Structures are given as structure tokens and as C-alpha cells.
Amino acid sequence: MTAIHKIEIAQGATFREQIILYSGGTLNQDEIDRLTVTEVQALTAVDLTGATITGKIRERFDDVSSLVDFTIENRDDVNGTFDITLTSLVTDVLDFDRAMYDIEVTYVGGDVGRELQGRVTFNRGVTY
């Protein structure tokens, strides 16, 4: 089942969010931070070895083109973790108020899972 999380992106700031995929679903950084060490250790990570991870922001889910694509960094395939990021240079030129995003994983064997999706709020800077 696809996890739903809201994210906020600030204009001119680097955006980074750690994601962990486990057999029962998906967690973002806020949810990970609320877990105890024992709870984190009890999660069964999804093995991402050989998988392709993509993430896009679109004004609407059914739009053909994306406003921007996330960069995927700091992959730990065995432990099912990765970061979705946008550099400050990218967020500096974004121009939307609200949009939608999703993260899809194409697993070895060809199965595709939309693992995470939700709303994006873009916070414009006052001095821009």
C-alpha cells in the first residue's frame, strides 16, 4: 500500500528527506525520529539492490510533465533507505504554490511500486 506524506520545500533552501522502505510500508524522517532504537531494529527492510528509484513533483498526479524530479542520494539498498533531495539552486527557481509528488521503485524482475506520495507545499522566500 502506498504511504502518504506531506512535504514542504522552502525556496532557496536544500531539501532532503530520508525514506526507509520496510515490509509493512514506508517511513519518512519525522516518523523514523519518533521510533525507539528497538522499533527501528524490528523493521524488516525492503532490499533495493538492483532497483531503480524515481521521484517527481507534478501540479496534478495525471500531468504528463513534471515540475521537477528529485535526486536520489545516500542509498543503502540492503537496509531499504535513501534520501530524496533538491539542491538550493533547484528550489531557488521553482514556481508553484502546491503540487503533488510520488516516489516509485522499479524492482528487479520489473514490478513497479508507488511507495510514497502526497502533497507538496512550496514556501516562497520573502527576499526573492
Nearest to 122 by CA among 101, 102, 99: 99
Domains of the chain, CATH where assigned: 3-123 (2.60.40)
Q: Who contacts 92 (Cβ-Cβ below 8 Å, separation ≥6)?
A: 11, 12, 128
| Cβ(18)–Cβ(79) below 8 Å | no
- The yes-or-no verdict on residue 29 having pLDDT over 80 is no
Task: Please name the residue that has the C-alpha cell 520545500.
Answer: 9
Q: Lowest-confidence range among 23-32, 40-49, 50-59, 119-128? A: 23-32
> Average model confidence (pLDDT) for the chain?
90
Spatial distance between the Cα atoms of 86 and 109, rounded to a whole number of angstroms: 29
Q: Where are the beta strands (DSSP E) in the chain?
A: 3-4, 7-10, 15-22, 25-28, 52-58, 68-69, 71-76, 81-86, 98-106, 112-123
Q: How many residues does the chain have?
A: 128
pLDDT on residue 1:
67
Tens digits of residue pLDDT in 101-117: 999 999 999 999 999 99
Tens digits of residue pLDDT in 50-87: 999 999 999 988 899 999 999 999 999 998 999 999 99
